[in-house]
Amino acid sequence: VSMGRTVVELFYDVISPYSWLGFEALCRYQHIWNIDLRFRPAFLGGIMQQTGNKPPAMLPKRAEYMLKDLKRMAKYYQVPVHMSGDDFKRIFATSSLAAMRFITAVDMTNPQYLEPLSREFWMRFWSQHEDISQPENILAVARQAGLSAELSQKALEMTSSPTVKDRLKETTAEAIKYGAFGMPAVVAHYNGKPHLFFGSDRLELLGSTIGE
């Protein structure tokens, strides 16, 4: 890390479509801005539970707006998030815990796959509308992201280990400690202190805060 590079942490969960938008935007900005981008896979369910937050879609008017908003954001950022009103049931019925543990295991063993793997999970769930909660889906995602069968199998076995479970819990707790109540949570370490930005639509403020 060269001097003067601002560390920017992105706490995300692949069940969150706004996390995908924030992820892709930051992946682009990391080549333009003087930042050191760090991906921090965390568990949205844990954040919601511990902060008493509720999914925005539980409020009908908000759900209605969210559909339009995601459509506009997807077009603006050129990210293939496809969502319809029927998707809310599917999302509420899906747990991302297994996927986020798998991503955590890969982060711990082969971090070079973290970016393509995370992207592939979003593609599968948000673009292709397929399940990401079952072991066979998770292995298919890993193959698609370029992991060998051997690495994927090893990561899958690690998901039930205390090491991986604790790491995911710790990352989630860290996000909450910074003030996160949802995802994505972007934390810029600038001028000796952490600055939290919530959502994928505050990136111009992030840039302005860190002098970009």
Catalytic residue positions, numbered? 16
The rounded distance, in Å, linking the Cα atoms of 186 and 200 is 9
Strand, coil or helix: 38: strand
Distances in whole angstroms, Cα of residue 156 to Cα of each of 75, 76, 176, 180, 187: 34, 35, 26, 28, 29
163: tokens are 């090491």
Residue type, 2: S
Which sign, positive or negative, has the C-alpha torsion 5, 181, 164, 118?
negative
Say which DSSP state 5 is in. Answer: P
* φ, ψ (nearest 5 deg) of residue 144: -60, -35
Output phi, psi for 159, to 5 deg.
Answer: -60, -20
Residues 23 and 96: their CA atoms lie apart, in Å, by 17
Q: What is the CA radius of gyration of the chain?
A: 17
The Cα 74–Cα 89 span in angstroms is 21
